[in-house]
């Protein structure tokens, strides 16, 4: 199957692992990722201001490119996913906004949020199926106790993201189980790591991250996996003394497509 | 042609002061059908009524028009007068020339002219009146109460005490409902079992009451006074007539791992069980989902130990059909699921519990024999946090919470907090509240006692997140008065879950054609004036099926519902309002428009044969109005495209005749 | 002007439980309103068939008003909700045919609102009077 | 021209008849001139071959006839019940809405009907042809996208079909068949049509202009009842205008008001049930745009209570026998009218 | 007048109806940045509703919101406090020369591992 793929700025820079393992595991699963041509940065974070249009145009362009190819749009990075999904939602539900955008873009065919947006996790669960994933595992990660860290971007606002129960998500836990490891459920897995405030107020980010690491460890996690480069950065920078890796890396390991010298 | 008498009342000077009554009587004399016209000072007086009676006899009157005060005042009076004179009471029409004429218009000519026109309209209408006889239907003198909680129990006892037989249908193996699970009751703190179980025994011993436990209503047909109900008695695999409730079978049953629903899954029971010691009927029931014998034919231990020989693995569901005159719905409530509120970590920690679970945890007959111990490790909790309004007053997301206030949580939380501090003064108890709502007798005093005497720490604010870590629950809440974020490392958290109608209510409402609101609470016939009646005649509401309420309110509503039922059942025949709708089947299309607008479910359809040309018979679907159920609003008459539906007393032709008379 | 002399004929359909009682209360409190208003009692506003309204106009009424219980207070629980839909669509249609929309009105009057009843009728009569005689409903067919 | 041909339909009908599935066929019957097609009932393959036609003038909506044709009649004359065989009906997309609406109102028995959906490429309005070609029409045929007309006085001519397309087809609301057992040709989608433009144009007139417009139109009415008789929503066992008990019975107008009364009441009686099939205007010998009354109700209902298409699904609740507690007040409707004025 | 204008502006930008708030404080209870804030989420809602927005304009609290949407998701009444915070912030930084974060400042904050995402997001949030 072929899907449109939006990697985003970080995946081409500081989070090359996330990108590389996405490609590799998708190949195992028979999914061809077709990178959107000349994609532009999503902007990192969604502006909730109803009157901000320009900052959402790059997302609309990506969505529209996928629509023209008749493909779903797949993202991996939580940040990109949140921005693109929220933009798609306003294009579907805010007539006034969509009209303005379409008029600005001045192309013949209007776009009204027709594209299906999947995070790679959702693609694995809803399109491929965790059963199929299980079949592809060659190195079961038996015995590993892994805490899923969702952060805020994948789940909220839940009325828009609709990925999972925002307070008791299962999607990454189910993936961990499918890979043969043992998921560790802990309450702070959907609390914020501090996000972009790390730039201006690293102390604040540190507090947020420590709360998460502590809670994960207290519940028995020996490793944390995430979908977000910024989450990973914050957790590692702020003293995670257990490994923090991307879920795609774990997937690659289980599929036997991770090489020892991979990584930056 | 009618022979109409017109009677113009002076009402002293009330009418005669502004209206020339003689001129009115004179003018109406010439209207079609009028054979007699007169005026009198006080038509409603005995002398005035006698005047009417005499005129009826003397002039062979077939219809009467009284020009007087509002029909809301004396229509009933003059109908009785007509009746006494041997005339059908519905041959009387009133022209309201007081409230609508003499009292609001000052000039005599104007008033007189209008009075004449109103009189003409009434004459025009009477010309088209036909004698109406109220329909009569017999009343089956037996009531059905659906639900055996405190609401159903109280209603059944009150009806039975009035001498009428009552059946209670309860889906669980015992009656008692939610109240049987409670520990103490606010605001008096008497034990729930102590006040409930004697009532349960009363029910069992009352000769007028039959209990169908472990049973469900399957189908309802008929109408007020004449319901036919199918009840499914589920197989309990124990012969109720033989079982003595000795409990020997339970002791020996090898299947010990069945979650005990009475204790909300906090401990286990056997596959054969009696829900609790004071169950009524005290009869064992085999749970087919867990019984080894029923599942794979291997066991049979209970049979061996049953001295009464009551065990019957071959027992089948049984259908009972019974007739009832009235039905009382008392299906009660359930706390909502906490699945969607995992910011409170209900699914993550055994030590986050609901208030109903807390009741069992403090109940002497509960899983911890009344000792307040943490479900996770059996330790005594030193810090307890109560969270109010979990899922109540929640308008953001319908699938998550309920927009309404659940009403009982403020009081039971105060009760829990108080009892905890009373029994374990070393415990630190914090209650997070949005508002404390205590409108009830001795309610606010009770809540203040929790604070002032028992030292319960009330914080205005909500809990935002609970993080289980180690053996603690890290509670993060807000204190809006101090403008602080509060962090408490608690040992136990109790969630005051919103309550919602029992899941069985919705299908039941469909069977009863009783209406429900968007929250699945049953709606009342009138929210203020008829709060215990459903809009469907003969169906009454008792307890929380109608809306959240506490025990005293439930009991008083249960009694009110019973009195309405008694009032209905003591009648031998139901005399209806004859001003009801009926369908001219020759013109009816069977299109269902009328049925859709009928608020009472009074309209049904049947296939009927009609003679066609050349000795043929045509079968068509036509509407049938049940006059015992119809209340006469007339909504159907306008919905009907062919005009087949009409309303006696307010027929299309009658109203048009009035229009014509006024506009002439 | 001549207009002021003109007295319109108003037919008011009142539901038995609220508005008719409201009219009675107006009477009890001696609140005056024009004698041009003639009330027809119906069990519920939902009994009012559009045919009655058109019939009134056909026979020379200048204005028709329908009074019922306030939404939510219907004696029969839902009758006035149907009235509301029926009359909203009917009156809009009459307006579409070029018939003065001021000649038709729906007003919710409770049994306690005697004053509102009188005020409503005063206002309605004034409004209809200012329009003059009802010709349009009669004249739609014949070009003059 | 229609993509689906008369022959294809006859073939399908013959096949079903020969299989014994259907006893008779409800379809379109040729007239004298090619453009005067009428509804017809066909009892045999021979009859079909002789008289059946499907083309640009097969405009009639046949669903209404099912009410009488599927009646449960027992007795000597008809033995409908004894046969297992059904009646075959051909449904164009707009007919299928009427079909569903009648089912919603329990007006016929679905079990007795075999419905074949037929692709429709738009029908031609003969009145429009006459306007262009003038009097003395000898024959009208369609070929491709053209209408070929032979006339007595003005010779032969070719007219683009688009120019003489029936108004209801110009503003076609749906190419989708909402009911059928079998489909011939293709079914399409619900179309975002401009069918309310004309209503809006009238709404935007001043009240005086509106009055003048309708006075002009309705004064043409001769009270022939064709609109009522063709309307698939007018299937009452007895019409109020024929019923002495209704208080409005009349065969011909007693005064000038009654014309208007008839059309207002008729539009009101079908409000919320009218599928906007346009039969009323098509059959009106005086060419009164009666559909503009019905469309006004449809437009109002859509605006006041949310979009509703009668017949889109069986069993839906018509808006005038429904309500919500927050419905618009009749007075507020007028405010909206002012904005338009 | 000034306040009323500002309130309308904030309500317009955010699309939030602060009147829906029932004052339960769950937003503040759940806010991860509570300790860093001078004005807390429930105060934002209350102060916008009452038009008392001036103090918010000068507060550091505007820049402490993480846009984590915990308050938005957990609010029982659907008030969406985070959107109000953002709208108030925008009404400040949209003024001339009022960007919180300037391009020249970036270098001093960076470390070698910081993902681009952080820089882009911060720019989006702190500058117009």
The answer, for D204 touching chain B at a CB cutoff of 8 Å, is: no
User: Would you list the domain boundaries of chain E?
Assistant: 2-95, 100-128
- From A86, A120, A154, the end of a domain falls on A120
Among the partner-chain residues D72, D78, D243, the one whose CB lies closest to the CB of B643 is D243
User: How far apart are the C-alpha atoms of C138 and C61, rounded to whole Å?
Assistant: 10
Kindly report, residue by residue over B449-473, the tens digit of the pLDDT: 999 999 999 999 999 999 999 999 9
Would you place residue D77 in the very low, low, confident or very high pLDDT band (cuts 50, 70, 90)?
very low
Q: Is residue C144 part of a domain?
A: no
The answer, for E33 touching chain A at a CB cutoff of 8 Å, is: yes
Q: Is residue C32 part of a domain?
A: yes
Q: How far is C18 from chain B (nearest CA, A)?
A: 11
User: How far apart are the C-alpha atoms of C44 and B636, rounded to whole Å?
Assistant: 11
Residue range D176-180: mean pLDDT, rounded: 94
Q: Is residue C143 part of a domain?
A: no
Neighbours of B466 (CB within 10 A): 27
User: How far apart are the C-alpha atoms of C122 and C132, rounded to whole Å?
Assistant: 16
Per-residue confidence (pLDDT) for residue B615, from 0 to 100 = 78
E chain contacts of residue B462, beta-carbon cutoff 8 Å: 24-26, 29
Q: Identify the CA nearest to B534 among candidates B327, B228, B332.
A: B327
Q: Is residue A262 part of a domain?
A: no
Mean pLDDT rounded to a whole number for chain D: 87
Please answer yes or no on whether E117 and A8 come within 8 Å at the CB atom: yes
User: How far apart are the C-alpha atoms of B68 and B10, rounded to whole Å?
Assistant: 7
Please answer yes or no on whether B591 and D78 come within 8 Å at the CB atom: no
* Same domain? A80 vs A181: no
Taking 80 as the threshold, does the pLDDT of residue D28 lie above it? yes
Please answer yes or no on whether A167 and B342 come within 8 Å at the CB atom: yes
Taking 50 as the threshold, does the pLDDT of residue D337 lie above it? no
User: How far apart are the C-alpha atoms of D299 and D276, rounded to whole Å?
Assistant: 11
Mean pLDDT rounded to a whole number for chain B: 94
D chain contacts of residue C100, beta-carbon cutoff 8 Å: 207
Q: Are chains E and D in touch, 3+ Cβ pairs below 8 Å?
A: no
Kindly report, residue by residue over D220-241, the tens digit of the pLDDT: 888 888 999 999 999 998 898 8
Taking 50 as the threshold, does the pLDDT of residue B608 lie above it? yes
CB distance B100 to B126 below 8 Å: no
A chain contacts of residue B469, beta-carbon cutoff 8 Å: 186-187, 214-215, 218-219
User: How far apart are the C-alpha atoms of E14 and E67, rounded to whole Å?
Assistant: 13
Per-residue confidence (pLDDT) for residue B276, from 0 to 100 = 96
Q: Is the dihedral of CA E18, E21, E23, E28 positive or negative?
A: negative
Taking 70 as the threshold, does the pLDDT of residue E2 lie above it? no
Taking 60 as the threshold, does the pLDDT of residue A262 lie above it? no
The three-state DSSP-derived secondary structure of B538-574 is CEEECHHHCCCCCHHHHHHHHHHHHHHHHHHHCCCEE
The domain tally of chain C equals: 1
Neighbours of B424 (CB within 10 A): 16
Q: Is residue A263 part of a domain?
A: no
The burial class, CB within 10 Å (0-12 / 13-18 / 19+), for C38 is buried
Per-residue confidence (pLDDT) for residue C64, from 0 to 100 = 96
Q: Identify the CA nearest to D121 among candidates D156, D99, D147.
A: D147
A chain contacts of residue B493, beta-carbon cutoff 8 Å: none
Chains that touch E (3 or more CB pairs under 8 A): A, B
Q: Is residue A125 part of a domain?
A: no
Q: Is residue C67 part of a domain?
A: yes
Please answer yes or no on whether E109 and A47 come within 8 Å at the CB atom: no
Residue scoring higher pLDDT (E25 or C112): E25
Among the partner-chain residues A157, A166, A198, the one whose CB lies closest to the CB of E118 is A198
Q: Which CATH number fits the domain that encloses residue A230?
A: 3.40.50.11810
User: How far apart are the C-alpha atoms of B622 and B640, rounded to whole Å?
Assistant: 12
Edge-to-edge strands, sheet with A244-246: A182-184, A145-148, A223-226, A244-246
Kindly report, residue by residue over C68-110, the tens digit of the pLDDT: 999 988 888 889 999 999 999 999 999 998 888 899 999 999 9
The answer, for B451 touching chain C at a CB cutoff of 8 Å, is: no
End-to-end CA distance of chain D: 41
For chain B, percent of residues with pLDDT exceeding 70:
100
Would you place residue D75 in the very low, low, confident or very high pLDDT band (cuts 50, 70, 90)?
low
Taking 90 as the threshold, does the pLDDT of residue B536 lie above it? no
- From A120, A146, A167, the end of a domain falls on A120
Partner C, chain B 483-522, Cβ-Cβ below 8 Å: 515
Give the nearest chain B residue to A217 (CA atoms).
B469
Mean pLDDT rounded to a whole number for chain A: 94
Q: Is residue A32 part of a domain?
A: yes
Q: Is residue C2 part of a domain?
A: no
Per-residue confidence (pLDDT) for residue A264, from 0 to 100 = 45
Please answer yes or no on whether C95 and D215 come within 8 Å at the CB atom: no
Taking 50 as the threshold, does the pLDDT of residue B582 lie above it? yes
Least confident of A110-119, C49-58, E81-90: C49-58
The H-or-E segment that residue D86 falls in is: strand D86-91
Per-residue confidence (pLDDT) for residue C141, from 0 to 100 = 34
Residue ranges and CATH numbers for the domains of chain B are 4-128 (3.40.50), 143-332+543-569 (3.50.50), 333-500 (3.50.50.60), 581-648 (3.30.70.3270)
Among the partner-chain residues A159, A187, A191, the one whose CB lies closest to the CB of B468 is A187
Per-residue confidence (pLDDT) for residue D151, from 0 to 100 = 86
Residue D225 to residues B3, B642, B646, C87, D229, Cα–Cα distance (Å): 40, 16, 25, 26, 6
Q: Is residue A234 part of a domain?
A: yes
* Same domain? A172 vs A71: no
ipTM for the complex? 0.68
Q: Which CATH number fits the domain that encloses residue A30?
A: 1.20.1050.140
The domain tally of chain A equals: 2
Q: How far is B499 from chain A (nearest CA, A)?
A: 21
The answer, for B58 touching chain A at a CB cutoff of 8 Å, is: no
Kindly report, residue by residue over C22-59, the tens digit of the pLDDT: 999 999 999 999 999 999 999 999 999 999 998 888 88
Kindly report, residue by residue over D253-286, the tens digit of the pLDDT: 655 566 678 899 999 999 999 999 999 999 999 9
Q: Identify the CA nearest to B539 among candidates B599, B585, B489, B471.
A: B599
> What CATH number has the domain spanning E2-95?
1.10.1060.10
Mean pLDDT rounded to a whole number for chain E: 92
Please state the pTM of the whole predicted model. 0.75
Would you place residue B222 in the very low, low, confident or very high pLDDT band (cuts 50, 70, 90)?
confident
Give the nearest chain A residue to B472 (CA atoms).
A218
B chain contacts of residue C78, beta-carbon cutoff 8 Å: 597, 599, 635
Token pair 């009101």: residue: D268
User: How far apart are the C-alpha atoms of D115 and D96, rounded to whole Å?
Assistant: 9
The answer, for D111 touching chain B at a CB cutoff of 8 Å, is: no
Taking 60 as the threshold, does the pLDDT of residue E93 lie above it? yes
For chain B, percent of residues with pLDDT exceeding 90:
90
Whether the upstream peptide bond of residue E100 has omega within 30° of 0, thus cis, is no
Among B130, B519, B591, the residue to mutate for chain D (most D Cβ within 10 A): B591
* Same domain? A187 vs A217: yes
Give the nearest chain C residue to D268 (CA atoms).
C90
CB distance D184 to D9 below 8 Å: yes
Please answer yes or no on whether C55 and B633 come within 8 Å at the CB atom: no
Residue range B406-428: mean pLDDT, rounded: 97
Q: Identify the CA nearest to A171 among candidates A128, A235, A202, A108.
A: A128
Give the nearest chain B residue to C52 (CA atoms).
B656
* Same domain? A95 vs A15: yes
Per-residue confidence (pLDDT) for residue E3, from 0 to 100 = 67
* Same domain? A180 vs A112: no
Structural domain for C80, as ranges: 7-138
Q: Are chains E and C in touch, 3+ Cβ pairs below 8 Å?
A: no
Strands B492-497 and B617-625 turn out to be: unpaired
Neighbours of B342 (CB within 10 A): 19
Per-residue confidence (pLDDT) for residue D133, from 0 to 100 = 86
Residue range B6-14: mean pLDDT, rounded: 95
Q: How far is A132 from chain B (nearest CA, A)?
A: 28
- From A56, A87, A120, the end of a domain falls on A120
Kindly report, residue by residue over A211-257, the tens digit of the pLDDT: 999 999 999 999 999 999 999 999 999 989 999 999 999 999 999 99
């Amino acid at each position: 199957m072929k899907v449109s793929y939006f990697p985003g700025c970080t995946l081409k820079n500081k989070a090359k692992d996330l990108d590389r393992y996405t490609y590799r595991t998708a190949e195992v699963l028979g999914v061809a990722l077709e990178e959107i041509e000349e994609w532009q940065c999503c902007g990192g974070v969604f502006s909730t201001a109803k009157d901000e249009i320009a900052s959402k145009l790059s997302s609309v362009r990506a969505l529209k490119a996928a629509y023209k190819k008749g493909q779903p749009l797949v993202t991996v990075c939580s940040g990109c996913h949140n921005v693109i999904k929220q933009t798609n939602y306003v294009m579907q539900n805010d007539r006034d906004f969509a009209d303005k955008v379409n008029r600005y873009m001045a192309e013949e065919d209007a776009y009204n949020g027709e594209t299906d947006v999947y995070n790679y996790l959702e693609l694995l669960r809803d399109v491929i199926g965790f059963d199929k994933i299980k079949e592809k595992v060659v190195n079961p990660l038996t015995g590993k106790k892994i805490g899923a860290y969702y952060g805020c971007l994948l789940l909220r606002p839940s009325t828009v993201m609709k990925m999972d129960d925002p307070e008791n998500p299962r999607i990454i836990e189910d993936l961990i189980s499918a890979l043969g490891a043992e998921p560790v459920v802990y309450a702070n897995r959907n609390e914020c790591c501090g996000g972009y405030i790390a730039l201006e107020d690293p102390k604040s980010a540190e507090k947020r991250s420590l709360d998460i690491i502590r809670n994960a460890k207290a519940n028995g996690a020996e490793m944390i996996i995430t979908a977000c480069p910024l989450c990973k950065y914050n957790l590692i920078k702020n003293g995670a003394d257990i490994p923090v890796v991307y879920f795609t890396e774990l997937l690659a390991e289980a599929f036997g497509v991770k090489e020892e010298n991979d990584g930056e | 042609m009618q022979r109409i008498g017109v009677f113009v009342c002076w009402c002293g000077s009330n009418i005669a002061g502004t209206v020339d009554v003689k001129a009115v009587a004179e003018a109406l004399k010439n209207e079609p059908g009028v054979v007699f016209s007169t005026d009198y000072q006080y038509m409603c007086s005995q002398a005035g009524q006698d005047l009417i009676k005499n005129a009826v006899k003397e002039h062979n009157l077939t219809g009467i028009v009284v020009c007087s005060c509002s029909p809301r005042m004396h229509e009933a009076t003059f109908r009785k007068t007509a009746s006494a004179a041997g005339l059908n009471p519905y041959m009387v029409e009133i022209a309201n020339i007081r409230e609508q004429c003499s009292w609001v218009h000052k000039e005599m000519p104007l008033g007189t002219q209008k009075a004449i026109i109103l009189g003409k309209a009434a004459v025009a209408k009477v010309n088209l009146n036909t004698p109406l006889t109220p329909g009569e239907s017999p009343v089956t003198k037996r009531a059905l109460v659906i639900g055996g909680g405190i609401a159903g129990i109280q209603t059944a006892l009150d009806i039975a005490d009035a001498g009428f037989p009552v059946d209670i249908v309860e889906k669980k193996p015992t009656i008692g409902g939610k109240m049987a699970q409670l520990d103490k009751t606010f605001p008096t703190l008497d034990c729930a079992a102590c006040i409930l179980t004697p009532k349960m025994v009363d029910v069992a011993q009352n000769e007028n009451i039959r209990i169908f436990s472990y049973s469900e209503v399957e189908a309802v047909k008929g109408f007020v006074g004449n319901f036919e109900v199918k009840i499914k008695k589920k197989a309990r695999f124990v012969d109720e007539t033989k079982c003595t409730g000795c409990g020997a079978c339970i002791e020996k049953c090898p299947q010990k791992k069945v979650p005990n629903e009475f204790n909300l899954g906090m401990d286990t029971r056997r596959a054969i069980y009696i829900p609790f010691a004071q169950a009524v009927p005290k009869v064992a029931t085999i749970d087919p989902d867990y019984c080894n014998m029923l599942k794979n034919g291997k066991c049979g231990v209970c049979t061996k130990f049953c001295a009464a020989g009551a065990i019957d693995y071959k027992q089948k569901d049984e259908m009972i059909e019974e007739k009832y005159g009235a039905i009382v719905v008392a299906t009660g409530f359930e706390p909502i699921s906490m699945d969607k509120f995992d910011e409170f970590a209900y699914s993550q920690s055994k030590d986050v519990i609901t208030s109903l679970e807390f009741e069992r945890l403090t109940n002497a007959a509960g899983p911890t024999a009344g000792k307040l111990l943490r479900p996770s490790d059996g330790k005594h909790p030193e810090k307890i946090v109560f969270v109010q309004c979990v899922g109540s007053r929640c308008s953001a997301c319908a699938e998550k919470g309920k927009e309404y206030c659940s009403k009982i949580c403020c009081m039971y939380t105060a009760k829990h907090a108080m009892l905890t501090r009373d029994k374990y003064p070393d415990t630190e108890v914090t209650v997070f509240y949005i508002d404390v709502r205590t409108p009830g007798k001795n309610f606010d005093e009770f809540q203040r006692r929790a604070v002032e005497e028992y030292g319960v720490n009330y914080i205005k604010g909500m809990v935002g997140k609970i993080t289980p870590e180690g053996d603690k629950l890290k509670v993060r809440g807000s204190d809006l008065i101090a403008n602080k974020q509060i962090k408490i490392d608690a040992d136990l958290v109790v969630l005051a879950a919103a309550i919602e109608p029992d899941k069985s209510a919705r299908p039941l409402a469909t069977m009863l054609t009783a209406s429900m609101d968007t929250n699945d609470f049953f709606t009342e016939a009138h929210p203020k004036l008829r709060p215990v009646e459903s809009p469907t005649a003969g169906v009454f509401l008792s307890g929380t099926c109608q809306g959240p309420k506490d025990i005293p309110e439930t009991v008083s509503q249960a009694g009110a519902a019973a009195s309405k039922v008694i009032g209905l059942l003591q009648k031998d025949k139901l005399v209806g309002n004859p001003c009801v709708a009926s369908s001219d089947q020759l013109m009816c299309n069977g299109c269902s428009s009328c049925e859709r607008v009928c608020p009472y479910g009074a309209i049904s359809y049947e296939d009927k044969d009609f003679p066609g040309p050349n000795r043929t018979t045509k079968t068509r679907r036509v509407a049938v109005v049940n006059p015992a159920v119809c209340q006469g609003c007339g909504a159907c008459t306008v919905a009907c495209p062919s005009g087949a539906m009409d309303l006696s007393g307010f027929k299309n032709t009658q109203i048009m005749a009035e229009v014509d008379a006024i506009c002439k | 002007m001549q207009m002021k002399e003109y007295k319109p004929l108003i037919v008011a359909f009142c539901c038995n439980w609220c508005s008719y009682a409201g009219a009675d209360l107006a009477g009890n409190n001696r609140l005056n309103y024009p004698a041009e208003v003639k009330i027809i009692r119906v069990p519920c506003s939902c009994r009012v068939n559009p045919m009655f309204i058109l019939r009134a106009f056909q026979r020379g009424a200048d204005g028709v008003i329908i009074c019922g219980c306030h939404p939510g207070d219907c004696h029969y629980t839902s009758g006035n909700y149907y009235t509301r839909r029926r009359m909203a669509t009917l009156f809009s249609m009459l307006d579409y045919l070029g018939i003065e929309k001021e000649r038709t009105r729906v007003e919710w009057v409770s049994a306690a609102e005697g004053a509102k009843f009188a005020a409503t009728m005063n206002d309605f009569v004034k409004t209809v009077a200012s329009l003059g005689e009802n010709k349009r409903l009669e004249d739609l067919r014949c070009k003059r | 021209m229609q993509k689906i041909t008369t022959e294809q339909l006859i073939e399908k009908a013959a096949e079903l008849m020969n299989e014994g599935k259907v006893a008779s066929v409800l379809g379109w019957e040729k007239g004298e001139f090619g453009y005067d097609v009428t509804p017809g009932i066909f009892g045999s393959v021979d009859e079909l071959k002789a008289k059946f036609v499907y083309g640009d003038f097969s405009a009639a909506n046949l669903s209404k006839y099912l009410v009488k044709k599927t009646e449960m009649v027992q007795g000597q004359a008809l033995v409908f019940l004894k046969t297992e065989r059904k009646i075959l009906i051909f449904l164009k997309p707009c007919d299928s809405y009427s079909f569903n609406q009648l089912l919603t109102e329990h007006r016929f028995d679905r079990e007795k009907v075999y419905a074949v959906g037929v692709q429709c490429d738009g029908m031609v309005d003969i009145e429009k042809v006459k306007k262009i070609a003038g009097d003395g029409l000898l024959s009208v045929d369609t070929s491709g996208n053209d209408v070929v007309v032979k006339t007595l006085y003005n010779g032969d001519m070719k007219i683009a079909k688009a120019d003489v397309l029936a108004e209801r087809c110009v503003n076609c609301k749906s190419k989708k068949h909402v009911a059928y057992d079998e489909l011939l040709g293709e079914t399409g989608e619900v179309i975002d049509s401009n069918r309310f433009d004309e209503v809006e144009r009238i709404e935007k007139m001043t009240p005086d202009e509106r009055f003048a417009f309708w006075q002009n139109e309705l004064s043409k009415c001769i009270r022939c009842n064709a609109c009522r008789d063709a309307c698939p929503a007018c299937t009452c066992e007895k019409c109020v205008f024929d019923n002495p008990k209704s208080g409005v019975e009349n065969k011909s107008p007693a005064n000038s008001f009654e014309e208007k009364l008839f059309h207002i009441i008729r539009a009101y009686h079908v409000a919320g049930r009218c599928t906007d099939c346009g039969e009323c205007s098509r059959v009106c010998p005086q060419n009164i745009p009666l559909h503009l009354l019905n469309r006004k109700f449809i437009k109002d209902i859509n605006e006041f209570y949310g979009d509703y298409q009668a017949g889109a699904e069986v069993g839906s609740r018509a808006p005038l026998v429904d309500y919500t507690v927050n419905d618009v007040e009749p007075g507020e409707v007028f405010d909206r009218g002012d904005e338009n004025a | 007048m000034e306040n009323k204008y500002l309130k309308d502006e904030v309500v317009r930008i955010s699309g939030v109806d602060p009147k829906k708030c029932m004052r339960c404080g769950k937003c503040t209870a759940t806010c991860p940045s509570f300790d860093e804030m001078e004005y807390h989420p429930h105060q934002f809602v209350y102060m916008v509703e009452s038009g008392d927005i001036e103090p918010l304009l000068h507060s550091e609290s505007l820049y402490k919101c993480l846009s984590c949407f915990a308050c938005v998701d957990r609010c029982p009444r659907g008030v969406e406090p985070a959107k109000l915070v953002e709208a108030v912030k925008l009404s400040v930084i949209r003024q001339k020369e009022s960007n919180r974060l300037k391009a020249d400042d970036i270098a001093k904050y960076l470390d070698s591992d910081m993902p681009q995402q952080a820089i882009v997001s911060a720019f989006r949030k702190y500058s117009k």
